[in-house]
Amino acid sequence: MTTDTRLSRLLEVETGMISDCMMRLGLHGWMDGVKAVQGPKARLAGRARTMLFGPKRGEGQWPVSMYRTIAEHLEPGDVWVIAAGGTDENLMGDNVVTQASLHGLAGIVTDSLVRDGTGIAAIDLPVFSRGVTTRLPMTMEPIALDVPVVCAGAQVRPGDTIVGDADGILVLPTARLDDILYQLEDVAVIEKELAAAIAARHPLEALEGVIKRKKARRA
């Protein structure tokens, strides 16, 4: 199975089912408090490229602009993960997002806020953030690119697979994608069976039996 095929399959299902697969495998990778600026239509899947922000030190600016970072360091299909410790400052607006879209990124995820919410919502590039603000980035600066980070409560390593929809963002170890997809085929069948059983008003004992199977790891 190619990387593109794996990502396409992940995009076909809700993150809730992928989360069920993570539970089966003992994996952790849930981001908290980040929502899609574009609303329910937003979906993304791609390779994580991380950028770490922190409080300014006053020893000179980071030498590469956000625009140059996109153009010279990121690749089409990447998901740009910007970890900023949950700052209340905005770290980007619609111009940066437009640059990222034109460069072919799969999406942007940040635990900061953003500005130009209406403009970003009109751009065909999924952006997940903690919200929107006009507060300027006066006290934060980039520290490093492509290093392990903690973003919205999840550990993210460069090369991880990021998946997101209206329910939130998941961080998947790329080396475990085949294991996740193997579990997903089983979870998807059981999910449909459970929905049908509920609609048919099956007894609670029958529903609980299906739920138990859903939690059990596929051999």
Whole-number pLDDT of residue 132: 97
Residue type at 157 in one-letter notation: R
- Tens of each residue's pLDDT in the chain, 219 residues: 899 999 999 999 999 999 999 999 999 999 999 999 999 999 999 999 999 999 999 888 889 999 999 999 999 999 999 999 999 999 999 999 999 999 999 999 999 999 999 999 999 999 999 999 999 999 999 999 999 999 999 999 999 999 999 999 999 999 999 999 999 999 999 999 999 999 999 999 999 998 999 899 999
* Whether the Cβ atoms of residue 83 and residue 52 lie closer than 8 Å to each other: yes
- SS3 call for 98: helix
Q: From 104, 140, 100, 98, select the one nearest 122 (Cα to Cα).
A: 98
- The fold of the 28-172 domain, in CATH, is Glucose Oxidase; domain 1 (3.50.30)
For the chain, the domains span 16-26+176-219, 28-172
Cβ-in-10-Å burial (0-12, 13-18, 19+) of 158 comes to middle
As a whole number of angstroms, the distance between CA 118 and CA 110 comes to 17
Whole-number pLDDT of residue 1: 82
